[in-house]
Structure 1
Amino acid sequence: MENSEQSRNTFFTHTYAPPYQPLNEEPRRNPGLILHQQETTVVVQASVAPIRDHLVWSIFNAAYFNVCCLGLLALVFSVKSRDRKVVGDISGSISYGATARSFNIAATVASVLLIALFIGLVASGVVNVHRYGGF
């Protein structure tokens, strides 16, 4: 067993000899070396609610409930809110998000009222949709 191990070591030693010497079992210590401890302070902020830009609601209102261009205005302010959030302007993002929410509420309420008014007029017979080729 020892003979095969010795021949194996001889084989590797003769074919490739590294230019470095193996380390001793215990590393040498430099008495002049002074190790400094470094302290790191991590500041954890309280979790703040995410800034709402209402982009999905604005896209829906711009596509389907765009009464008096309120949906388009909501979309513009939603994009402005998202841009401010990316830049890091938190107060501007909150302000534009609140304006977008107001326009979205106005567009949704106005559209639902107009749809309800139209259905009420058709149901009462004031508007005859058969004459215009509907239903």
Structure 2
Amino acid sequence: MSCSSQPFFTGPRSGVLPTYERLKEEHEVAVLGAPQTSGAVTSTVVNIRSETVVPDHVVWSLFNTLFFNPCCLGFVAFAYSVKSRDRKMVGDVIGAQSYASTAKCLNVWALVLGIVVTIALIILTATLAH
């Protein structure tokens, strides 16, 4: 019997081991004593594939479409976000990541240009009002 226990799940909470396994092993060692044979201990490894989370940036794209839409960048970002969501639903993770990356880049540009245009309009209005 192995003295070290390994977590069954690999994920963000895998560092916390259940206490009942450790107590059970300690009890068996105390009752039965040390292992008498020095045979090889076999173990089974279970790999659980976690789903890759691909952000599709739909909400950000919709915000940019409604409020910051210079040169229709927000609308194009929204189209790529919807394509990314469609690819994710089909199961094409690589295609979804590609469309999401393009949507993110377009959203950054739309937001930056929208803020710059808004600040320029505020400065222009303030200087012309005097």
Q: CA deviation at 1:105?
A: 0.5
Counterpart CA distance in 2 for 1:81 and 1:49 is: 13
**Residue from 77, 81, 101 that aligns with 1:78:** 81
TM-score by length of 1: 0.59
- For the residues of structure 1 that align with 2:85 and 2:52, how far apart are their CA atoms? 15
Indicate the residue corresponding to 2:66 in structure 1.
Answer: 63
* Structure number with bigger Rg: 1
Which residue among 103, 111, 115 is the counterpart of 1:108? 111
What is the one-letter code of the residue matched to 2:100? G
Letter paired with 2:48? V
- SS of corresponding position for 1:44: coil
Equivalent position SS for 2:56: coil
1:87–1:48 Cα change, 3 Å: closer
* Matches of 1:93 and 1:82, distance apart in 2: 7
The runs of 4+ residues in structure 1 deviating greater than 3 Å are none
Identical amino acids, percent of aligned pairs: 44
CA, structure 1 residues 86+49, in 2 after alignment: closer, same or farther (shift >3 Å)?
Answer: closer
1:120 aligned residue: 123
Q: Tell me if the contact between 2:56 and 2:81 (Cα under 8 Å) persists in the aligned partners.
A: yes
1:44 aligned to 2:11?
A: no
Displacement of 1:50: 1.3
| Distance (whole Å) between structure 1 residues aligned to residue 81 and residue 96 of structure 2 | 9
- The amino acid across from 2:96 in the alignment is S
Unaligned runs of 5+ in 1: 1-40, 130-135
The number of residues matched between the two structures is 86
Are 1:95 and 2:98 counterparts?
yes
Q: Structure 2: give runs of 5+ residues left out of the alignment.
A: 1-44
